[in-house]
A and B are shown apart, each in its own frame.
Chain A
């Protein structure tokens, strides 16, 4: 009995606080970031997406540097409680907290980036086909390298990162069969110190093209100093290494954020799992460095068009793994299920995936 009264008391207080805070029922969009808005990589691009939503006439709120531990659930819940109608949680570690809060706020829409759990009908997931960008980088790297060695700074051995390594290696092999991909795992998404050391280690091992699946600008700056080629990640990092950067893979979340926020506003929002690439513009390429030569730029632009139109696919058979087992048969392309769970290297990548 006492418990019941208490429960009633709590729920009424919940209700009170919710109604008092959302008294003016203005449509609001919330964002949760894992890093600072000034990281010039992952979070920076999500923040750009938020600016686009704001420019489209919707009110937005963001919370930056939210740790992926116990704190994220409170932040997401506070956003839901304070009258936000759609909430974008922009890091993998927010997956379980997002689903937990979504259960308690069935009228609020939740969008979780890079996750795979949609436990309630008001949770959608979205990610980008970054690997299409990696294919273009591979093509460029294969043509530009003199030492036939490409250095790759990797974060965590999750399918998304493995996919990027494989897509890049396959494309590089097509234009240069002698190519070798060397990998350093740094086990972090953002640590300029570690990323610099990794870049230097790869250069010392003979890599003359550096790329990274981490968020800081440190690797391109190291490459600029060492006089080797590099690529920007997540945002256009050209100004951090003007000579060395050949292009950047840009994550462009803006169109998606505007579209989904509008859908939530108009009541047309539906649960979905989005995986957009070059075609829809979620993955874009920064201007190509003229140092590549006009012939190569033209080639890459054509490849970019073909990937966008679907005429070409990053994972077209025959594809073999490191031991020589056939993964994708000749004439076939890898399906999304295989891509989503990718956990082996293709032939030509050096080393083992950390287990």
Chain B
């Protein structure tokens, strides 16, 4: 008698092209199963997919909105990739975004009735520093007390959101705003310059692009980038090589926090123009998907942020034109991540069917 046994074996030879093709495969699989879901829900699949992925960006306004939505995702994901590449699991970008928003919003409110060229740079700087300081909390706790950065950074998200709630309801609320939970509007000098009249896309996109370029340089051309890579492969090797792990951990968290803080600045000084309770629809969490979909590669992250931003826009358009429930957008985001992780598994491991004879058992 013969039986079969399944064994999972690690692959040694992973081709680079396949590594970057799997995200595309994941997107294609998502489209196919998305179409299937639409069909089962009673919608015409092709029409639904058209309203989901093409109609939102078939005009200049729609495309500019895509860029507007992708900007914070890209910024945060780039920052996160510094952490993730080096085996540091910063899950609290949403909190760093919120805290950065609070600090920069505070500076903007200081100048609420003033104009001047120096205001915006101060506001932007404040946001970056705010996010950076907030990210240093889990980093220092990790390096000095060996705490788990996943838990600490995640829990700090709720702390920062509660702080924002408190500020906009209490001390920072607009004195002329009938106690509604929002601050005054920022002055024009504290707002990101709009790039084209009639559109909302603002100068924050240049910050995101600059971050992409700088991070590419850091990842592939600097000693820090090399350290991160080695630590990512094996912490023991990094230690053996004599890298000062603590400094690096602190540094990647600071970079990550600053990026998230800048994303917060872009939102409040861009389309929103004030502080209120909903400055981010969980960009900090969605950016985790973006970072992995982009393979922690700066260029990949640009494309990934556009794809994920499109799922938000598509969900709105699909509901407007076809009355498809809006939560399908989140289903799509979930499916992309699922298929990516699934194909990664098959990419890094292979399944071996072993023929075994009875007497071997």
User: What residues make up the interface of A, taking CB atoms closer than 8 Å to B?
Assistant: 6-7, 9-11, 13-14, 16-17, 30, 61-71, 73-75, 77-79, 81-82, 92-93, 96, 104, 116, 156-159, 187, 341, 343, 353-355
B320 with A10: CB separation less than 8 A: no
Query: Contacts of A93 on B, CB cut-off 8 Å?
Result: 276, 278
Q: How far is the CB of A200 from chain B (nearest CB, A)?
A: 20
B320, A70: Cβ atoms closer than 8 Å = no
Residues of B within 8 A of A64 (CB): 319, 325-326
Are A61 and B316 also in contact (CB < 8 A) when A14-B59, A74-B65 are?
no
Question: Is there contact, CB below 8 Å, between B60 and A68?
Answer: no
Could you tell me if A67 and B199 are in contact, using CB atoms closer than 8 angstroms? Answer: no
Are A78 and B196 CB-contacts (below 8 A) given A157-B169, A341-B178? Answer: no
A345 to B280, CA, bound (A): 33
B319–A62 CB distance below 8 A: yes
Partner of B178, one of A17, A78, A158, A353: A158
- Contact check, A355 vs B65: say whether CB atoms are below 8 A apart: no
Does B12 reach chain A (CB closer than 8 Å)?
Answer: no
> Which residue from chain A places its CB closest to the CB of B173 in the assembled complex?
A355
Which residues from A are CB-within-8-Å of B180? 92, 156, 158
Q: Is the CB of B196 within 8 A of A6?
A: yes
B residues 304-356 touching A (CB-CB < 8 Å): 312-313, 316-317, 319-321, 323, 325-327
Report B72 CB to chain A, min CB distance, Å. 9
- For B272, list chain A residues within 8 Å (CB): 69-70
Q: Which of B60, B271, B280, B327 contacts A13 (CB 8 A)?
A: B60
Pick the contact of A68: B59, B171, B276, B312 (CB < 8 A): B276
A197 to chain B, nearest CB (A): 15
The answer to whether B200 touches A73, judged by C-beta atoms less than 8 angstroms apart, is yes
The 9 closest A-B pairs by CB, nearest first: A17-B59, A70-B271, A69-B278, A67-B281, A13-B60, A158-B179, A68-B278, A157-B179, A63-B319
Q: Are A16 and B276 in contact (CB under 8 A)?
A: no
The reply to whether B316 and A10 contact each other, CB–CB distance below 8 Å, is no
Among A65, A73, A78, A343, point to the contact of B326 (Cβ < 8 A): A65
Chain A residue, CB-CB nearest to B330: A65
Whether the pair B321, A82 counts as a contact (CB closer than 8 A) is yes
Q: A14-B59, A65-B326 are contacts. A79–B320 as well, Cβ < 8 Å? A: yes
Known: A61-B323, A187-B181. A16 touches B169 (CB 8 A): no
Check A17/B58 contact, CB under 8 A, given A69-B272, A116-B178, A156-B169: yes
* Contact present for A16 and B65 (CB under 8 Å): no
Cβ distance A68 to chain B, nearest Cβ, rounded Å: 5
Mark interface residues in B277-300 (1 if CB within 8 Å of A CB, else 0): 111110000000000000000000
Contact of A70 among B270, B317, B319, B326 (CB under 8 A): B270
Residues of B within 8 A of A (CB): 58-62, 65, 68, 165, 169-171, 178-181, 196-200, 267, 270-273, 276-281, 312-313, 316-317, 319-321, 323, 325-327
Measured CA separation A216–B59 after assembly (Å)? 39
- Closest Cβ–Cβ distance, residue B162 to chain A (whole Å): 9
Does the CB pair B198–A156 fall under 8 Å? Answer: no
Which residues of A lie under 8 Å from residue B170 when comparing CB positions?
354-355
Task: Find out whether the CB atom of A10 lies under 8 angstroms from the CB atom of B198.
Answer: yes
Q: Contact partner of B169 among A73, A82, A187, CB < 8 A?
A: A187
Contacts of B169 in A (CB 8 A): 156-157, 187, 354
Question: When the two chains form the complex, which single residue of B179, B267, B270, B277 contacts A343, counting CB atoms closer than 8 Å?
Answer: B179
Greatest chain B CB density within 10 A among A9, A69, A159, A353 is at: A69
Output the least CB separation between A184 and chain B (Å). 14
CB of B179 within 8 A of CB of A156, answer yes
Q: A159 is contacted by which of B68, B178, B278 (Cβ under 8 Å)?
A: B178
Q: Are B316 and A75 in contact (CB under 8 A)?
A: yes
Given A69-B267, A69-B278, A82-B320, A63-B326 contact (CB < 8 Å): yes
Interface centre among A30, A66, A68, A341 (most CB of B within 10 A): A68
Question: A6-B196, A7-B197, A354-B170 are contacts. A78–B323 as well, Cβ < 8 Å?
Answer: no
Q: Is the CB of B179 within 8 A of A16?
A: no
A-B contact pairs, 6 of them (CB 8 A): A10-B60, A13-B61, A70-B68, A74-B316, A79-B320, A353-B179
B-chain residues with CB within 8 Å of residue A61 when the two chains form the complex: 319-321, 323
- B276 engages A11 (CB within 8 Å): no
Partner of A69, one of B60, B181, B276, B313: B276
B320 neighbours in A (Cβ, 8 Å): 30, 61, 63, 75, 78-79, 82
Is the beta-carbon distance between B267 and A70 smaller than 8 angstroms?
yes
Bound complex: CA A37 to CA B48 (Å): 21
Chain A residues whose C-beta falls within 8 Å of the C-beta of B277 in the assembled complex: 68
Q: Chain A residues near B316: list those with CB within 8 A.
A: 63, 66, 71, 74-75, 78
Q: A81: which B residues are within 8 A, CB to CB?
A: 61
Contact check, A67 vs B278: say whether CB atoms are below 8 A apart. Answer: yes
CA distance A9 to B317 in the complex (A): 24
Bound Cα distance A212, B118 (Å)? 47
When distances are taken between beta carbons in the complex, the residues of chain A under 8 Å from B313 are 74
Provided the pairs A10-B198, A17-B59 are in contact, do residues A187 and B271 lie with their beta carbons within 8 angstroms?
no
